[in-house]
Chains A and B, each alone.
Chain A
Amino acid sequence: MLRHSAIRLATRSASLHGTAFNTPLKAVSFVFRNQKIGSRTLSTSQPSFSSSPAHSQDRDLPSLQINKTDSTITLAIPKGSKYYRPHQPTTSLHPIWLRDNCPCPACIHPSTRQKLHASSQVPLDITIISHRVLPEGLELTWSKGLDDVGDWEEPAKSQAGHKSLYSWDMVLGSYGGTPTEHRQRTRMNHESILWDEAMMKEKVLWLDYDEYLNTREGLHKGLKHLQEYGLFFLRGVPTKDQEVATVAERIGHLRHTFYGRTWDVKSVPNAKNIAYTNLNLGLHMDLLYMESPPGLQLLHSLENSVPGGTSIFMDSFKAVELLKQEHPEDYEILTKTPTTFHYRNADHHLHYNRPTIALDAMNDTLTVNYAPPFQGPVELPAEKMQGFYKALRRFAEYIERPSLQFRHTMRPGECMVFANRRVLHARTAFDPSKGNRHLKGCYVDLDMFKDKYRTTVQAKLDGEF
């Protein structure tokens, strides 16, 4: 799911000092409602170089340099400031970006928080005619107005002299550090913890249903565990038919597919999915033939009186890590080669090509796509076939390694919640003549999870629970 940014939240809250800047992340964007607070202002003539703060109280304010040719701003952060980073003592920002992201109410609609101009309206040759370094932030005054301002808009937008005030938390905090720090701050991108059998046996989370459903702390525990390990379990979920929907809706809306809003995993004749049989079902992910396979899958055990039918889980991210370390050339092949997934019968025709290992550098995410039962014939030139099959075999070896798998036979009332784009799931064959096995399942989109995770983590940071 989300990956590899160090968990910095704890250190950030520890480093808060000085009442002027002790604002929780959420409140930052509203700093500009009160625009002009500054009694101490440092104006520097334009274009010019850094001016040191005149007063000792301003020792923790940055000093500023504006490039004469392109108006790029460089901020040098004083060592005493909470924004100081030894590995990156200055932050550079582009004037077009700054104008484009002015946070004032004429630029960002106050209740919707949506921008009121397009990026294309910012003149490419805009410059800064004056600036002030204030305790609240950096104030810039612009040389030109926006282009193509409609007649329904504020005329002032097309005129020179607009003032923008950027909080230090924005320009030195969120946008001041490395991309990794930025993602962690702005998107709660926390590290996954790659697990094997031993680690999951030690760390597995069994959450009590009441705690999960009725307390924010319970929800937070589950979401955090999902984010880190990609899997957790609930116990004590009443074995009512639609209860899995209630579990899921604590996180977000259900993803309704042609399998239904919720669906039954039991052995049936003329099954339309291999899951609806008693056969062994190898480690895989669901719905990879869709443009956007669901991020979460939930399976709630309603009945289980058969021998067999054990659930198996595997952290595909661990397999990726091992493959990358031990067979980097096969790793490369799997990041670049389209694997085909499809679902074709008389009623449906879905098809999608995606790499087995999908690295999304733009969003700093890793996704794995592995589903042998739903794989279609791969669409590759003849010369690439051998290499692809060899790489896939190597990857599959890690997946099939028992020491990397976690096993559990679900009991009625238990519910598994797992990240469908990271944790592979499987079940052993069972004998339907010996009893009944019935799981109720549903899906939730990844966006729902991320949204809930971010807002819940933020609420906890803000001390709401």
Chain B
Amino acid sequence: MLRHSATLLSSAAARVSRNSLSPLFRNSSRLQSSSSTSTVLFQAARSLHVSAWSPCALPAEAQEQHKDLPTIQIAKDSASVTIRPPKGSKYYRSEQPTTTLNPIWLRDNCPCPLCIHPSTRQKLHASSQVPLDITVSSVQVYPEGLELTWSKGLEDVGDWEEPAKARPGHKSLYSWDMILGSYGGTPSEHRQQTRMNHDPVLWDEKRMQDNVLWLDYEEYMTTQEGLYKGLKQLQEYGLFFLRGVPTEDDQVATVAERIGHLRHTFYGRTWDVKSVPNAKNIAYTNLNLGLHMDLLYMEAPPGLQLLHSLENSVPGGTSIFMDSFRAVELLKQEHREDFEILTKTPTTFHYRNGEHHLHYNRPTIALDEMNDTLTVNYAPPFQGPVELPLEQTQGFYRALKRFAGYIERPDLQFQHTMRPGECMVFANRRVLHARTAFDPSKGNRHLKGCYVDLDMFKDKFRITMQAKVDGESKKGQ
């Protein structure tokens, strides 16, 4: 799911307890401890006027009082604003002692109520309205943040809008937490701060056996801490289990809705995994079903899958799980060229029968650099004929075989035979699932399933995580 940013939250939480800035912008400083939302922008008794075209020059006594405030430099052509936090500041980073920001970007992202609608938090102008030659006409450095005054107004301001927006002199105040915090560090730090992007923990059989989470249903449903445990495990391992889920038909929906709305597909809002004649899906048979992911023939396959065991009195039908991210890591280390092929080559997934026709091409290993995410797409039963030029065919099949070699390794797989009342919750774009064949004549096997979109999970995870951080820092005060 989300990847590769070092877990900085613990250090961020440590910084938060040193509460030096009050939050002026309800939105901007999510990791700050105080929840008071003030729209009073200017507390500044101490202000340092810096001339626009030269490096910051402060009178000596001002420098003494303000040694904990950043210094500002505006490039002569006004194409950049450089901010240097002092060494004692909580924003100081030895590997990156200055932050450089573009004035167009700054004007575009002015957080004031004329620019961002107070209750909706939506922007009240388009990026295209910011003049490309806008410059900073004056600068003020406050304890709360950096105030810039602009040389020009916005363009194409409609007659229904505030006329002031079209005129020079607009003042924007940016909190330090925004420009030195969120936007001051590396892209990784930024993503971790703004999107709670935490490292996945790649697992094999042994690690999952050591770290598997079995959560009690009551705890998950009725406590914030329980929900948090589950979400965190999902984020890190891509899989957790609940026990004690009442074996009532629609209970899986209740489990899922603790996280987000169900994803309704043509399989139903919830669906039954049992062996039936004339099955429309290989899962609805008693056959062995190899490691795969669901619904890859859809534009947006669901991020989460839940399967709740209602009955299981048959021999066989064991559930198997595998961390595809681990397979990607091994492939990248041991067969780099095959890894490259699988990131670039479209694999075809389809579902075609009388009533439905869905089709999607996606790479087996999908790296989304814009969002810093890894997704794996692997579903042999639903693969369609790949659409490749002849000369790429051999290479693709070889690479896929190598990748499958890791997927099929027993020491990388976790197995469990679900008992009634147990429910699995897993990341459908990361953890592969399978089940061994079973003999339906010996009893009944019935799982109830449903899906939840990835957005729902991310939203819930971020909000729940933020609440925990806010709660902990409150305690720390």
**Is A115 within 8 A of B459, CB to CB?**
no
**Is B119 within 8 A of A382, CB to CB?**
no
**Is A292 within 8 A of B455, CB to CB?**
yes
Bound state CA distance, A94 and B393, in angstroms? 7
Interface size in chain A (residues, C-beta < 8 A): 97
Residues of A31-58 at the interface with B, using a CB-CB cut-off of 8 Å, are none
Known A-B contacts A29-B352, A96-B394, A291-B453; the reply to A382 vs B100 at CB < 8 A is yes
> A329: CB under 8 A from chain B?
no
A338's partner among B290, B370, B390 (CB-CB below 8 A) is: B370
Residues of B contacting A280 with CB < 8 Å? 158, 160-161
Q: Considering the complex, give the chain B residue whose CB is closest to the CB of A92.
A: B390
CB A184 to nearest CB in B, in angstroms, measures 12
- Residue of B79, B105, B288, B303 contacting most chain A CB atoms (<10 Å): B105
A119's partner among B279, B303, B387, B400 (CB-CB below 8 A) is: B400
Residues of B contacting A10 with CB < 8 Å? none
Encoded as 1 (CB less than 8 Å from any A CB) or 0, chain B from 382 to 397 comes to 1101111010011001
Residues of B contacting A374 with CB < 8 Å? 122-123
Residues of B contacting A79 with CB < 8 Å? none
**Is B104 within 8 A of A386, CB to CB?**
yes
**Is B119 within 8 A of A271, CB to CB?**
yes
**Is A382 within 8 A of B102, CB to CB?**
yes
Q: Considering the complex, give the chain A residue whose CB is closest to the CB of B125.
A: A372
Bound state CA distance, A290 and B386, in angstroms? 29
Encoded as 1 (CB less than 8 Å from any B CB) or 0, chain A from 96 to 120 comes to 1100110000000101111111111
Residues of A contacting B48 with CB < 8 Å? none
Bound state CA distance, A29 and B357, in angstroms? 13
Bound state CA distance, A352 and B454, in angstroms? 12
Known A-B contacts A349-B462, A372-B125, A445-B300; the reply to A344 vs B27 at CB < 8 A is yes
Residues of B364-416 at the interface with A, using a CB-CB cut-off of 8 Å, are 370-371, 380-383, 385-388, 390, 393-394, 397-398, 400-401, 403-405, 408
> A15: CB under 8 A from chain B?
no
CB A166 to nearest CB in B, in angstroms, measures 10
Which of these binds chain B: A199-207, A217-225, A228-236, A449-457? A449-457
Residues of B contacting A211 with CB < 8 Å? none
**Is B466 within 8 A of A119, CB to CB?**
no
> A272: CB under 8 A from chain B?
yes
**Is B121 within 8 A of A344, CB to CB?**
yes
**Is A385 within 8 A of B390, CB to CB?**
no
CB A248 to nearest CB in B, in angstroms, measures 12
**Is B105 within 8 A of A377, CB to CB?**
yes
> A21: CB under 8 A from chain B?
no
> B7: CB under 8 A from chain A?
no
> B285: CB under 8 A from chain A?
yes
CB B284 to nearest CB in A, in angstroms, measures 8
Encoded as 1 (CB less than 8 Å from any A CB) or 0, chain B from 180 to 197 comes to 000100010010001100
**Is A382 within 8 A of B390, CB to CB?**
no
Bound state CA distance, A100 and B383, in angstroms? 10
- Between-chain CB contacts (< 8 Å), 12 pairs: A96-B393, A100-B385, A112-B281, A112-B381, A115-B383, A179-B387, A353-B370, A362-B361, A379-B190, A429-B160, A446-B299, A451-B358
